[in-house]
């Protein structure tokens, strides 16, 4: 067969003349159908979901329309700057040279983290500091985030990574391995919360009892109302997340911590996804079955949560409560073992509120004694697990921490409290607002043996699911720009899970 002429070849390849390989092939597609405007297949199928590719599009630091942008560019550097300032104050209080030199090196590592954060550096592996989560972190970085930086990795992972690097600044030191860089901020905020603290302690210092001569139906109704009010106290008390209230005044904090019944009744209309009635039925059924176990996965050191736990024990709605905290300081205000012990011991022995009356101090002391007795009796159990301080979402809890998933599967109800826990439950991605909660939390609802789960969350970031319709979110987008980060709205969502089924791991 003869070769085509050079003129024909050049014409086909879009090249006007000359010899050699064509620079570009151009096809004229005028006879084909026009291109269609279609949407991607969301959510992704499970096999295509990974930490860098959530079920729906991830929020990333370079998305200027999202709270991720403000967090990565402003909030995290501000938080880190305050942590450096507080550590320098600690440095200036030291007298032993070895400890001073060691802490100076910690501060230098914090400065390096600030440089990386501000300069949008690549995410490097975590140094082996002996923590149980190092392998989990570095496996995730190697598999999904090679070459990623602070701004183009999903916000949830990048933010968690920053806090892990902050812990590393101290964990590889000689004398400061257990230093809580946020300790001063936690103590200061708790001491500034005196109005809310004593509002609750004076109301609940005496064990819960029913009024005399009530019928069984009336007693049950009284318990229902108390449960719903305490649940709302826990829900809205989370408005005082330290990482979001960096520059808030004392009066503003007091306003957010209001615990009056009228205030709570007014705020229920702001619970956009409201499963409070189903939650009460779930808890009530536990007592009908002679009581059960309830777990709280903690976020900040919310004093209000312990009152709900106290009420559950007193009324027999639960026989045992597990509290799950963090192994080390995490996201400014998340609870650690030291925070837990500090709270109970400060209530019994402390003098944190110099302006408190004798009655107020006595109310704290008696409550603290009662709660410490719950611990001695095994009714309250505090635990921590390495998984809670990783960059993985809770979609990966079943595969990356099977021991923890099995442990939670034995609970009758697991509360996940706070915005960060909700983000981790839902993969922190741009799912439609009408996405059912059970769909949004993936394996935490669908895996065999998955427990019943309740998310108590004041909305302070972009992800919103579990609403009756997308129109609710669309209307708020138009009428109240910024509603997703204001803390004005909340959700109480319940997943029925698959309790009672045998837990299986692939």
Model pLDDT for residues 33-79, shown as the tens digit of each residue: 877 765 667 899 988 999 999 999 999 999 999 999 999 999 999 99
Q: Looking at the structure, tell me whether residues 355 and 489 fall in a common domain.
A: yes
Q: Are 281 and 191 in contact (CB under 8 A)?
A: no
Report the pLDDT value the prediction gives residue 247, as an integer from 0 to 100: 43
SS3 content of the chain, % helix, strand, coil (to 5): 50, 10, 40
Q: Residue 37: inside a domain, yes or no?
A: no
Q: What is the CATH number of the domain that holds 154?
A: 1.20.930.60
- Other CB atoms within a 10 A radius of the CB of residue 145 amount to 21
Please report the pLDDT score of residue 17 as a whole number.
47
DSSP at 447: S
- Compute CA 253 distance to the chain's CA centroid, rounded to the nearest angstrom: 20
**471/388 Cα distance (integer angstroms):** 34
**pLDDT tens per residue across span 448-487:** 999 999 999 999 999 999 999 999 999 999 999 999 999 9
- The answer to whether residue 78 sits within a structural domain is yes
CA 38 to chain centre: 34
- Report the CATH number that the domain containing residue 188 is assigned in CATH: 3.40.50.10880
| Domain match, 331 and 358 both | yes
Q: Kindly state whether residues 193 and 87 are assigned to the same domain.
A: no
- 226 and 321 in a single domain? The answer is yes
Closest CA to 57 of 46, 70, 44: 44
Give 321's strand partners. Answer: 294, 380
The tokens for 368 are 């603290």
177 belongs to a structural domain: no
Complete DSSP assignment for 18-64: -SSS-S------TTSPPPP-----SSPPGGG-BTTB-SSPBPBTT-T
Question: How far is Cα 349 from Cα 338, in angstroms, rounded to an integer?
Answer: 15
CA 146 to chain centre: 25
**Cα–Cα distance, 319 to 416 (Å, whole number):** 19
Question: Are residues 207 and 355 both part of a single domain?
Answer: yes
- For residue 83, which of 195, 175, 167, 199 has the smallest C-alpha distance? 167
User: Are residues 100 and 221 located together in one domain of the fold?
Assistant: no
- 166 shares its domain with 241: no
Residue 187, domain member (yes or no): yes
Q: Tell me how far CA of residue 181 lies from CA of 136, 238, 331, 332, 342, in angstroms.
A: 23, 21, 11, 8, 15
Give the tens place of pLDDT for each residue, 271-327.
Answer: 999 999 999 999 999 988 877 999 999 998 678 899 999 999 999 999 999 999 999
Of the residues 171, 191, 216, the one at which a domain ends: 171
Q: Are residues 165 and 189 in the same domain?
A: no
Statement: residue 263 has pLDDT above 90: no
Whether 194 and 326 share a structural domain? yes
Q: Let me know if residue 240 belongs to a domain.
A: yes
Supply the mean pLDDT for the chain: 89
Quote the radius of gyration of the chain (alpha carbons, Å). 27
Answer yes or no: are the C-beta atoms of 425 and 453 closer than 8 Å: yes
Query: Is the same domain home to 288 and 371?
Result: yes
Residue with tokens 């320098």, as numbered in its chain: 88
Predicted TM-score (pTM) of this structure:
0.88
261 and 125, same structural domain?
no
Q: Per the structure, how many domains does the chain have?
A: 2
Residue 202 CA to chain centroid, in angstroms? 30
Which residues span the domain enclosing 273?
183-495
The answer on 193 and 121 residing in a single domain is: no
**To which residue do tokens 């012990």 refer?**
341
**374 pLDDT higher than 60:** yes
Task: Give the 3-state secondary structure of residue 280.
Answer: helix
* pLDDT tens-digit map of 67-125: 999 999 999 999 999 999 999 999 999 999 999 999 999 999 999 999 999 999 999 99
């Amino acid at each position: 067969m003869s070769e085509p002429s050079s003129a024909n070849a050049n014409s086909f390849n879009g090249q006007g003349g000359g010899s050699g390989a064509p620079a570009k092939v151009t096809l004229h597609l005028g006879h084909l159908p026009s291109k269609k405007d279609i949407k991607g297949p969301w959510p992704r199928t499970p096999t295509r979901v990974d930490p860098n590719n959530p079920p729906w599009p991830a929020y990333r630091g370079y998305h200027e329309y999202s709270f991720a942008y403000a967090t990565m560019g402003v909030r995290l550097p501000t938080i880190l700057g305050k942590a450096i300032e507080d550590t320098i104050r600690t440095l200036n209080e030291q007298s032993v040279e070895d400890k001073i030199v060691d802490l100076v090196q910690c501060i230098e590592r914090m400065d390096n983290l600030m440089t990386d954060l501000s300069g949008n550096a690549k995410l490097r592996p975590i140094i082996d500091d002996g923590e149980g989560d190092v392998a989990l972190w570095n496996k995730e970085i190697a598999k999904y985030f090679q070459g990623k930086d602070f701004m183009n990795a999903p916000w949830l992972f990048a933010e968690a990574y920053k806090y892990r690097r902050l812990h590393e600044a101290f964990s590889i030191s000689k004398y400061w391995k257990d230093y809580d860089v946020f300790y001063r901020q936690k103590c200061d905020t708790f001491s500034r919360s005196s109005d809310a603290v004593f509002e609750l302690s004076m109301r609940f210092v005496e064990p819960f009892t029913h009024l005399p001569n009530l019928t069984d139906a009336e007693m049950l109704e009284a318990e229902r109302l108390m449960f719903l009010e305490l649940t709302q106290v826990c829900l809205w008390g989370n408005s005082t997340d330290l990482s979001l209230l960096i520059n808030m005044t004392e009066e503003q904090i007091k306003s957010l911590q209001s615990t009056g019944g009228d205030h709570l009744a007014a705020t229920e209309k702001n619970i956009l996804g409201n499963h409070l009635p189903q939650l009460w039925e779930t808890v009530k059924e536990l007592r009908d079955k002679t009581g059960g176990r309830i777990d709280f996965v903690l976020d900040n050191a919310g004093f209000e949560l312990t009152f709900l736990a106290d009420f559950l024990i007193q009324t027999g709605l639960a026989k045992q409560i597990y509290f799950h905290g963090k192994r080390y300081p995490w996201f400014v205000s998340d609870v650690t073992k030291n925070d837990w012990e500090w709270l109970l011991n400060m209530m019994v022995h402390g003098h944190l509120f110099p302006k408190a009356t004798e009655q107020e101090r006595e109310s704290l002391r008696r409550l603290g004694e009662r709660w410490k007795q719950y611990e001695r009796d095994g009714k309250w159990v505090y635990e921590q697990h390495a998984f809670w301080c990783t960059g993985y979402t809770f979609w990966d809890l079943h595969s990356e921490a099977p021991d923890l998933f099995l442990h939670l599967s034995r609970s009758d109800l697991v509360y996940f409290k706070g915005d960060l826990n909700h983000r981790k439950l839902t993969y922190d991605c741009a799912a439609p607002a009408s996405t059912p909660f059970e769909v949004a939390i993936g394996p935490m609802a669908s895996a065999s043996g998955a427990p019943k789960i309740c998310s108590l969350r004041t909305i302070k970031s972009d992800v919103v699911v579990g609403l009756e319709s997308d129109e609710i979110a669309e209307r708020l987008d138009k009428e109240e720009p910024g509603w997703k980060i204001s803390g004005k709205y909340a959700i109480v969502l319940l997943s029925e899970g698959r309790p009672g089924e045998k837990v299986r791991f692939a």
